[in-house]
Structure 1
Amino acid sequence: MKRRPPFDLATLGPILAERADADGRELIIRDISGDVHIWLTDETAAEHPAVVVPPDGAHRLRLDLASRFIRRLLGHPVGLLPPKLRLTDLQRRHYMHLLHAADLYEEGGEPRDVASHVLRSEQAALPAIEFKDTAARKRADRLIKEAVAMVSREYLKILRGG
């Protein structure tokens, strides 16, 4: 059996953090799909790499990411992110609106501010009595509600591909 040379950490990407202790050496490397945690148990660990995938609700996505990592490790082209991690232009714009709405709301902004600054609605300039029944007000309310939920842990669904 032909013995593979150890993989070169420098080819995997920039090292964000590194820690060594009695159990080995841990590295965190930046990847387009997220940070990759590498644990080298001893001096020869780079000669016999293995991937550990926790059996949690995101195991299919983790398997896709592990496959990408192995392809990089072997020097093969990686290709696109797994389909569940790819955002459409519409999703990207929606998430940007949510984050902007969350920031405004956290700073004391109200639905009128969200309608004006995020949705860029002309209805935000209406007097209060007229604005309260507009589509822009209702959409701003929904955006604020979704933004608050996303910021308080709902974002994990996105990371799991849902």
Structure 2
Amino acid sequence: MRDDGGCVFAYDPNIPTTHSSVLWRPEVFPGVLLLTEAPSAFATAPFSAAAIGPVFDERADADGREIVIRDSSGELHISLRHAEAERHPAIILPLDDMMELRLDVAASLVRRLCRKDVDLLPARLRLTPLQKARLIQLLHTFDILRDGGGRRDIAKEILNSEQARLPSVEWKDSAARRKATRLVQDATALVERGYLKLLRGD
């Protein structure tokens, strides 16, 4: 919350833009797996990120350390929330509305640790090539809007449509204008917290 020192953003704005990987808050992205220290009675093996896959990035702060592992199936974020989490690890599984997805992610981690060939992330958290292309299109659309452009500019630069050059009367009823209008609506919704649905696999 704004009034108690919390962060209202899904991604911490205090992280420099030069940071090489986006570190999402675990409460909004089930692809962040939380590790803490296991109860002393459990005989657990030490956690090794290298046993899961290539370590792409890592960062330490007051909340602990986060390791980003990346392969062709996506990025898995391991958030170590205790000083002994690596030596004596246990998985935290919040019982929220993303519990099933979190459980799938945890199961993938366990299978990787058992040297099984499985994807890092469940299918719901992975973007298809078509989804990636659409998201790039929407972000490009938003950039045009932010820079003062309009639907004609979007039709020209995003849709590569010759209809962008039509006179006003014809442009008003053109297919390109309707498509540009839809892009504007979807791009605005995406930037205004719509991206959270992607993080949740919706």
**SS across alignment from 2:149:** coil
Match of 1:29 in 2: 67
Matches within 5 A, 1:74-153: 74-79=114-119, 81-153=121-193
Match of 1:69 in 2: 109
Q: CA deviation at 1:73?
A: 3.5
- Match status 1:18 vs 2:60: yes
Match of 2:17 in 1: none
Q: CA deviation at 1:90?
A: 2.3
Q: CA deviation at 1:128?
A: 2.2
- How many positions carry a matched residue from both structures? 154
Q: CA deviation at 1:160?
A: 0.7
Structure 2's unaligned 5+ residue stretches are 1-42
Q: When you count helix as a share of all residues, which structure comes out higher?
A: 1
Q: Deviations over 1:3-28 (max 9, x none)?
A: 664233444524421246xxxx8211
- The one-letter amino acid of 2:88's match is H
Q: CA deviation at 1:120?
A: 1.1
Q: Provide runs of 4+ in structure 1 moved above 6 Å.
A: none
Tell whether the 8 Å contact from 1:33 to 1:65 is kept in structure 2 after alignment: no
Matches within 5 A, 1:151-162: 151-162=191-202
Match of 1:39 in 2: 81
Match of 2:95 in 1: 55
Greater shift, 101-110 or 65-74, is seen at: 65-74
Q: CA RMSD in A?
A: 2.3
State percent identity of aligned pairs: 42
User: Under a length normalisation based on structure 2, what TM-score does the superposition of the two structures give?
Assistant: 0.67
Taking a change above 3 Å as real, the CA distance of residues 8 and 36 of structure 1, as seen in their structure-2 partners, is closer
**Residues of 1 paired with 2:98 and 2:184: CA distance?**
27
Q: When you count strand as a share of all residues, which structure comes out higher?
A: 2
Whose relative contact order is higher, 1 or 2, with alpha carbons under 8 Å and at least 6 apart? 2
**Residues of 1 paired with 2:59 and 2:128: CA distance?**
31
